[in-house]
Structure 1
Amino acid sequence: MPAEEQVGQLKGRQQHSPTRRGPNWRLAAALAMAIGAAQGAPLRACASDVDFPPYVFTSSSGFAGGAQDTGLAVNVLQRALRRAGREPAIVQRLPWRRCREMVAHGQIDIAIDVPTRELDEKRFLASDAYAEVHHVYFYSSRKYPDGAPLRAPSDLRRYTVCGLFGSRLDAFGVDPSREDVGSKNERSAIAKVVEGRCDVFIEIREVVDSLSERDASLRDLFNAPALRRASLPGDAPTGLHFEFNRASKDGRALQQSFNATIRDLIHDDAMGRMMP
């Protein structure tokens, strides 16, 4: 039985049984204090400081007082915390590796949008995947006029590969000496491809689609004559998860609340309605 219901029942008994008020009152007070502590300070969550629409991104549309972080992941996060009786989390945007390290060391409670291939069960508890994404890559039509240069996943070892800042290209088998993850946005990474500094740029298809819907100039860039795109060979759908500090006393309860929320949203086909 939820603690709130126990408190309510105890209060009701106190009103009808004044002779038993002492022990029941003390138990009710203890439960109320526990609930208050659980619902006190907001939890802290972090996501990459590189926009990742439609999952996490900064937007000023529809917000009073300036830009705010929004996205499907943020909405699922707050829904799961509400289910657990928590206040909305404070979301920080940080360099991705720093975000995860701060969760690992208990300085932040939740990491947002951890790809399945990056999950680390030794240090973290992970939620079920709330979404799946697919990868595409961009290449120069001038440099590769005969078509897509990649035929198999192993081909990536022979090329200089661009990714956004914080990307884990080693998960795709890219040689660390031939990767460039210094770009803070898609425009910068694509410029490197067009200029010949990178052979290919790996990005998430759903992110490209979302950016194209929101930004006409980016849509034009993605479809520029000098650029081509193709599905990444051997790519399988990649899940997006929330991670919690394994040592946290709240970790298991948060994991259960997030998993229950994700299952309900998927079962009710409600993820689409959670999109900002």
Structure 2
Amino acid sequence: MMSVAMLRLLLLILVCSLPLRAEVVVRACGGEGEWIPSSYFKRVDGSKTAEVAGYSPDVLRAALQGSGYRVEFALLPWLRCQREVELGQRFQLAMGMLHSPERARLYRFSDAYLRFQPGYFYLHRRYPQGLQIRQLDELSRYQVCGLYGYNYGFTRLRPEQMDNGALDYPAAMAKLAFGRCEILIETLEVMAGQRRLGRLSYDGDLLRGRPLPETPPVVAHFAISPQMADADAFLQILNTGLARLQRERKLEVILRMHTSP
């Protein structure tokens, strides 16, 4: 009769001989214009590296911890990132995407994990007495700038009412400086992140920003390619991880890591 010790040994050998589930690599992208603090290139001694850092990568790693998925990150031109994820071959996930009915037909959205307050920014020298926007409809009176490929539906402006030709924030600031536009639309947190990382050298005497009226915080999601082989299972695992981070209040901790001075 087989002893208990021998039976345990055989069971251990059987378990150890079972094939392990191969680690699944998911490739995620964000905009190379660096939507700080969501995603940006890590700096070392003030110099930009190729490593992608930010709130979104940290949240993804934490939400998927122990799931068998490993995420690789890259920053691309934002429209190219969106297109790559739509196709789902080289990239399967886009970080920090705002929801819209058009995008909902192209991607599967995770639960919300990021909330930023939209604002408007102007040059103090152009409006030394300040620029007060009290209603969103007042934006149509000004030349308004944004970034190429970004979603500004919350402004209620039609696409032709905005100059969205700037590829990054320094280019958008140059348009303000040269009078190509009077107002730059961006969230308060992102502009604070740009300043924190040294991408925009401004102070209150040069550039001023205020919250947009009648505008709740914008909500960002992870957008998953419907072409991903196990998109449904991955989305469920991701949302479960996000709910855990929210319940444990770890999202706030991660955000502070990328927004504190």
What letter is aligned with 1:205? L
For 1:186-265, list aligned pairs within 5 A. 186-215=169-198, 218-219=200-201, 221-225=202-206, 227-265=207-245
SS of aligned partner of 1:136: strand
SS of aligned partner of 2:35: coil
Q: How many residues align?
A: 247
Identity of aligned residues (%): 28
Partner of 2:3: none
One of 15, 39, 45 as aligned partner of 2:10 = 15
Distance in 2, matches of 1:116 and 1:14, equals 54
CA positional deviation for 1:210: 2.2
Distance in 1, matches of 2:58 and 2:221, equals 13
Equivalent pair of 2:176/2:182 in contact (CA under 8 Å): yes
CA RMSD of aligned residues (A): 3.0
SS of aligned partner of 1:83: coil
1:60-119 deviation digits (Å, cap 9, x = unpaired): 339xx95411011001112233332122x2212112122122211222211111123477
1:187-245 deviation digits (Å, cap 9, x = unpaired): 33223223321021011111122233333x835x14234x3322112111111210112
**Structure 1 position 116 matched with structure 2 position 99:** yes
Distance in 2, matches of 1:119 and 1:218, equals 32
Equivalent pair of 1:50/1:165 in contact (CA under 8 Å): no
CA positional deviation for 1:144: 3.6
Instruction: Give the TM-score normalised by the residue count of structure 2.
Output: 0.81
Instruction: Give the TM-score normalised by the residue count of structure 1.
Output: 0.77
Distance in 2, matches of 1:141 and 1:200, equals 11
Distance in 2, matches of 1:106 and 1:129, equals 21
Structure 1 runs (4+) deviating above 4 angstroms are none
CA positional deviation for 1:268: 1.4
One of 25, 38, 46 as aligned partner of 1:55 = 38
Distance in 2, matches of 1:119 and 1:255, equals 20
For 1:147-162, list aligned pairs within 5 A. 147-162=130-145
Equivalent pair of 1:119/1:126 in contact (CA under 8 Å): no
**Structure 1 position 101 matched with structure 2 position 83:** yes
**Structure 1 position 268 matched with structure 2 position 225:** no
For 1:17-166, list aligned pairs within 5 A. 32=19, 35-36=21-22, 39-40=23-24, 42-61=25-44, 66-87=49-70, 89-107=71-89, 108-117=91-100, 120-166=103-149
Of 184-193 and 130-139, more deviation after overlay is shown by 184-193
Distance in 1, matches of 2:119 and 2:188, equals 6
- Check 1:131–1:193 CA distance in 2 against 1; reply closer, same or farther (3 A cut): same
Which structure 1 residue ranges, 5 or more long, are not aligned? 1-11
What letter is aligned with 2:174? A
- Check 1:123–1:176 CA distance in 2 against 1; reply closer, same or farther (3 A cut): closer
Which structure 2 residue ranges, 5 or more long, are not aligned? 1-6
CA positional deviation for 1:48: 0.8
- Check 1:142–1:209 CA distance in 2 against 1; reply closer, same or farther (3 A cut): closer
Distance in 1, matches of 2:233 and 2:9, equals 30
